[in-house]
Amino acid sequence: MTTDEEEVARGLYRLYVVALEAEVMSTRKFVEKNPGYRPGQPCYFVDVTDLAVDLRFDQHMHGIKDNAFVRMYGIALRPDFTVDFPPSPFGVAVEKEAEFARSLRREGCGVWAPVLDAPETSNVYVIRLDAAVLKNRGFRAANPGYVKGSPCVYVGATGISPEARLANHKAGYKANYYAQAYGDGLMPELFLHLNPMTYQRALATEIALGEELRQEGLGVWQN
């Protein structure tokens, strides 16, 4: 197994940077996200992937789950920018993506990073689960630090409203077993202040929120 295959198997993500042609600054969306751009500075696309970065770049260029800025203006990968960023779990990698994109912007570069610049159309949500879920061996095994009497919850991320996603779970549409069988309403006090956000940010926040609630002694399930 190659190093890339091993990293994918472990669920690790790599930061990658693509140099973009200066003409990208002629597009309204890119310009709007870069009010501090200084003429003459380079432009970049910053993202994370669980694939080999050269494969991900090729996908962009061939229109496979692509970003339009990379497909239309991509020049080449900049591996020299990311040598100090080892592969990381998704949530960590996304934070690195955001930090690196901001650092480039502080230098006056033009940047597009999905975690910062994609439409904020996603939400995280928390569903209260009936205490009967604790009778399930798999749920108990996932929560060895559960504090007796604490709530049990399902934490997710969605591109629709939390209310609509709960209804889908209960109706069995793209449903999680625990949310469908034990779901007993939303807990907006745990997530409402976080929404809305970009898709990548929602996925990373789902992971972080689930870990935070588990550390507080709640019983948590997330995919």
Check pLDDT > 60 for residue 191.
yes
Angle at 122 between CA 199 and CA 156, to 5 degrees: 90
Q: Which amino acid is at 211?
A: E
Check pLDDT > 50 for residue 21.
yes
Integer CA distances (angstroms), 223 to 2, 90, 135, 143, 207, in order: 27, 13, 19, 14, 9
Indicate the pLDDT class of residue 113, thresholds 50, 70 and 90.
Answer: very high
pLDDT, averaged across the chain:
95
Check pLDDT > 80 for residue 9.
no
